[in-house]
Structure 1
Amino acid sequence: MHLIDPDVWGHKVFTGAWTPAAGGTTPVVSPATGTHLGAIGRAGPEDVRAAADRAADVQPQWAHTPYTDRAAVLRTAGDLLAEHKEEAQRWLRLEGGSARGKAAFSVHVATAELYEAAALASQAHGEVLRTAQPKLSLSRQVPAGVVGVIAPFNFPLILAVRSVAPALALGNAVVLKPDPRTAVCGGALLAEVFRRAGLPDGVLQVLPGGADAGEALIAAPPVRVVSFTGSTAAGRAVGELGARHLKRVHLELGGNSPLIVLADADPGRAAAAGAWGSFLHQGQICMTTGRHLVHERVADAYVDALAAKADSLTVGDPDGAETVLGPLIDAGQRDKVHALVRGSVDAGARLAAGGSYTDLYYRPTVLDGVAPDSPAYATEVFGPVAPVVRFSSTDEAVRLAADSPYGLSLGIITGNPMRGLEVADRIPSGIVHINDQTVDDEPTAPFGGVGDSGTGARFGGTRANIDAFTETQWVTMRADIARHPF
């Protein structure tokens, strides 16, 4: 039996059951071939407001469900996703343009997120506090209530489930708005997984939609916490609207992450890591290695190795067994990427590899001799582009790496890991990887950036997830009624 059946989700949104949406429908299209795969419901603001009210009605009962039962639902959801992994991967390739390896990785991590969330349900949720008075004083973490999750197209399954799963485990109801471009693999898939896992109706609702649906979700009075993953520009708008409505907003935004290759690094091995950081999923990752800062002593060898790796990678239909890079998500993204590459070449950069495309397939691109003000260096490209800047001293590398409004991820390649950590201590970043590139994610690790990359670590790991999706409540108890001066 299929987990993702177009006859079930076609022309509908998920409100606990699959129902038509006031906002109409959105076509489901393969970016690889342009094939029409069906149509899914598109939520309008009225759909979102009704979903938020529905979630508020059912959330208290879910919160009072024994944690063992909540954990069982999460474990069953993980089992179902693992059981149907081939089908889930197929839809990530069809709808999201994911190559086979990236699709398999996405399903593996999403399954792990579900299992970690199941374990989260049984974690201690408070502490006994010191008090100078004759009473018991404690703090406890209680569900926030209704959580709104707005997820993007690039890693649609992981970037939805990493908020949805812990929020549910901690007793919240969730309204998920996936990107309409990946509404099946980033929305319908999760709806069906949780429906079949036994989650009560209305505790999770999945409503693909545009900006108007997102605004309605943030403004809806029952929604107390909003988890947003997307661009920095969109995140600013989400944060501003959330502040107006006094919502707690978690923002995981863009990046332009640097990879520093020090003079004592092996340039060939460093370039292999750098290629993965820049070219995985066509560079459409917030953690993508956007800036390669390479010591002049090893720069020539590094660029040669990186360009050779780029030229060797197979770009094509993501369903192909040998394909490494699939298509960019749409023509608008492709044209943005190409304009940044051409603008950098016009500004004096040397095109060492790539720089061309066919349809939505963009060749992995290496730019050498890049100046810090070149378009592809100064801007988050969100495409398979590796700009290389050379430096002559560690102080210069630190200055270049820190000279960015973003602060999501940092990689440092060196023969001396302790020296790498010393360098990292001088560069603001939410994530640091010594002797690795900038792209990594684990359900047990806190994830988030600083500066224009977001509002800090708030996903992953017990502490970050509990902080993100609960409220802290202070409770005191006395043996008898307190006496007061009047």
Structure 2
Amino acid sequence: MSNIGESQVWNGRIFSEGWKAAKGGTHDVIEPATGERIGVIGTGSPEDIDNAVVSATKAQAAWAATPFDQRAAILREAARLLKERAPEINEWNVRECGSTRPKAEWELHATFEQLQMAAAIPMQPDGALYPSAMPGRINICRQVPIGVVGVIAPWNFPILLGMRSVAPALALGNAVVLKPDTQSGVAGGLLLAKVFEDAGLPAGVLHVIPGGPAAGDALVRHPKVGMISFTGSTAVGRAIGEICGRMLKKVALELGGNNAIVVLEDADIEAATSNGAWGSFLHQGQICMQTGRHLVHRSIAQQYAQRLAERARNLAVGNPAKDPVHLGPLINQKQLDRIDNIVQQSVSEGATVLAGGKHVGLFYEPTVLAGVKPGMPAYEQEIFGPIAPITVFDTDEEAIDLVNSSEYGLAAAIHTQSMSRGLAMSSRVRVGMVHVNDQTVNNEFHVPFGGMGASGNGGRFGGPANVHEFTQTQWVSLMDKPIQYPF
């Protein structure tokens, strides 16, 4: 198949005060489903990053001073253009990232909602009036832009997870340098840059530079970048956190997860297995909120496992650009090898394959593992693939201990016919998000999103949480007449 982006303005380029060649060269866009080259992107070097940050620093002050309604209008126009260009953007999400069409369509709509939410932020109160013990003093605490925000976005939900930071950061008066992964540089970067350019965003306010670790490191270490928003693996997030800590730089880390669905003995088996299948197999399991552990009460474990395996066997795997499949390809061979190694090693330690466990090329079958115990790779590790490991428990206390045994703390789900029982358990599990009678993969644009422990540093995205995430607090006190001190 031919290079479907060869006639586009972004072909082989980056976006940094217009479209230009990258000093870091170019990178072929490879379709995971076929292995074919479908495009070329520019890849940023540390020099490209430095030039972008210097440009963003110069442009930021004027952007912050732009009246809020004008900033909001540009974001609303970007949202409109995103919807208008949905066919093109969705096609790239399918071809470049291995997304199924329903997943791509959902992601684009969720990103549209993120933009609309961000457009509403600038008209909200940006401060508070505090009382003073000093007669005649007025105390104002207000939120002010950070300056330049560096956003490092992943390849799995590249449009949504990039825009989750880019849109509110821009709305609040920051300039942004976005570094998408090279595996999603078109869908998660260059197409979005074109949307903002055509929406009327002033030059220099947004830079989009796909790149690898060297570009990311340059962005994190740049002294003029006031904040890093990173979504990705815990290992890389720890390294970024260390650098930002030494530089006293604000950092938001949304990292990995080993998320559990807890199925109590009174759960609805049909509903619970439906939720478990969706949580484990959606987008080939390549989601930080993926249901990586199925903790099931012993009395229903066999029934749950059999039904979940039936659901897995009924899912179609194939090329999402050609067929209406449930699962597309994994993103690359390295990911497939890692996932298959987790499965095979767990089986060698006593786990049983009830469905799947095989692959052709990058297409890995939805897999159900029974008899998974703590200590096995399928229990301990973040799988990031279409694997559903089942572990049995006997009591609520044991279930809570199992959930909390992971260093991760992103999301959990609890299935029970008693909402009060689910609510009581939710307060005892150390995760940032708990869903009773639902599954672990959930996102609402206006609700604070984030994890605990190895899943993040407490940063939150969504609604009012964005205001504090992408600004600094400034205290201003005012008096009509100066104070006379005894000195």
SS of the counterpart of 2:226?
strand
Aligned residues of 1:100 and 1:320 also touching (Cα < 8 A):
no
Aligned residues of 1:268 and 1:301 also touching (Cα < 8 A):
no
> Which residue is 2:172 aligned to?
170
> Which residue is 1:48 aligned to?
49
> Which residue is 2:385 aligned to?
383
Distance 2:7 2:232 in 1: 27
> Which residue is 1:447 aligned to?
449
Distance 1:148 1:6 in 2: 29
SS of the counterpart of 1:40?
strand
Aligned residues of 2:410 and 2:452 also touching (Cα < 8 A):
yes
> Which residue is 2:314 aligned to?
312
Aligned residues of 1:147 and 1:173 also touching (Cα < 8 A):
yes
Q: 1:11-160, aligned counterparts within 5 Å? A: 11-133=12-134, 134-160=136-162
Distance 1:109 1:444 in 2: 11
Q: Give percent identity, aligned residues only.
A: 51
> Which residue is 1:362 aligned to?
364
> Which residue is 2:234 aligned to?
232
Task: For residues 115-144 of structure 1, give each alpha carbon's deviation from its aligned partner in whole angstroms, at most 9, with x where no partner exists.
Answer: 000001111000001101121111000111
Letter of the aligned partner of 2:220 in structure 1? I
SS of the counterpart of 1:142?
strand
Letter of the aligned partner of 1:477 in structure 2? L
How far the C-alpha of 1:321 sits from its partner, in A, is: 4.6
Q: Normalization by structure 2: what TM-score? A: 0.98
SS of the counterpart of 1:278?
helix
Distance 2:284 2:94 in 1: 13
Q: 1:207-222, aligned counterparts within 5 Å? A: 207-222=209-224
Letter of the aligned partner of 2:97 in structure 1? G
Matched, 1:336 2:338: yes
> Which residue is 1:475 aligned to?
476
Q: 1:255-334, aligned counterparts within 5 Å? A: 255-334=257-336
SS of the counterpart of 1:249?
strand
Aligned residues of 1:100 and 1:321 also touching (Cα < 8 A):
no
Distance 2:246 2:128 in 1: 32
How far the C-alpha of 1:200 sits from its partner, in A, is: 0.2
Distance 1:38 1:366 in 2: 36
Aligned residues of 1:26 and 1:40 also touching (Cα < 8 A):
yes
Distance 2:52 2:73 in 1: 25
Could you tell me which of 196, 202, 215 is aligned with 1:200? 202
Letter of the aligned partner of 1:469 in structure 2? F
Distance 1:156 1:113 in 2: 13
Distance 1:406 1:232 in 2: 9
SS of the counterpart of 1:27?
strand
Aligned residues of 2:253 and 2:459 also touching (Cα < 8 A):
no
Distance 2:363 2:481 in 1: 73
Task: For residues 372-416 of structure 1, give each alpha carbon's deviation from its aligned partner in whole angstroms, at most 9, with x where no partner exists.
Answer: 111111100100000000111111111111101000001001100
SS of the counterpart of 1:147?
strand
Task: For residues 213-254 of structure 1, give each alpha carbon's deviation from its aligned partner in whole angstroms, at most 9, with x where no partner exists.
Answer: 111101112110110000000001111111122211110000
> Which residue is 1:408 aligned to?
410
Letter of the aligned partner of 1:247 in structure 2? K
Aligned residues of 2:6 and 2:39 also touching (Cα < 8 A):
no
How far the C-alpha of 1:16 sits from its partner, in A, is: 2.7
Task: For residues 265-292 of structure 1, give each alpha carbon's deviation from its aligned partner in whole angstroms, at most 9, with x where no partner exists.
Answer: 0112100110000000000000000000
Q: Which runs of 5+ in 2 are unaligned?
A: none
Letter of the aligned partner of 1:82 in structure 2? K
SS of the counterpart of 2:484?
coil
Q: Normalization by structure 1: what TM-score? A: 0.98
CA RMSD of the aligned region, Å?
Answer: 1.1
How far the C-alpha of 1:6 sits from its partner, in A, is: 4.7
Distance 1:415 1:451 in 2: 29
Which moved further from structure 2: 186-195 or 4-13? Answer: 4-13
SS of the counterpart of 1:98?
coil
SS of the counterpart of 2:251?
strand
Matched, 1:10 2:11: yes
Distance 1:59 1:226 in 2: 16
Aligned residues of 1:88 and 1:189 also touching (Cα < 8 A):
yes
Task: For residues 392-447 of structure 1, give each alpha carbon's deviation from its aligned partner in whole angstroms, at most 9, with x where no partner exists.
Answer: 11111111111010000010011001101111111101001000010011110111
Aligned length: 483
Aligned residues of 2:5 and 2:38 also touching (Cα < 8 A):
no
After superposition, the Cα gap between the structure-2 partners of 1:465 and 1:103, relative to the gap in structure 1 and judged at 3 Å, is same
How far the C-alpha of 1:457 sits from its partner, in A, is: 4.1
SS of the counterpart of 1:223?
coil
Q: 1:430-445, aligned counterparts within 5 Å? A: 430-445=432-447
Distance 2:185 2:7 in 1: 12
Distance 1:367 1:250 in 2: 34
How far the C-alpha of 1:320 sits from its partner, in A, is: 3.8
SS of the counterpart of 1:7?
coil
Matched, 1:398 2:400: yes
Letter of the aligned partner of 2:255 in structure 1? L
How far the C-alpha of 1:322 sits from its partner, in A, is: 2.3
SS of the counterpart of 1:234?
helix
Letter of the aligned partner of 1:157 in structure 2? I
Distance 2:92 2:253 in 1: 27
Distance 2:322 2:421 in 1: 42
> Which residue is 1:347 aligned to?
349
Aligned residues of 1:13 and 1:20 also touching (Cα < 8 A):
yes
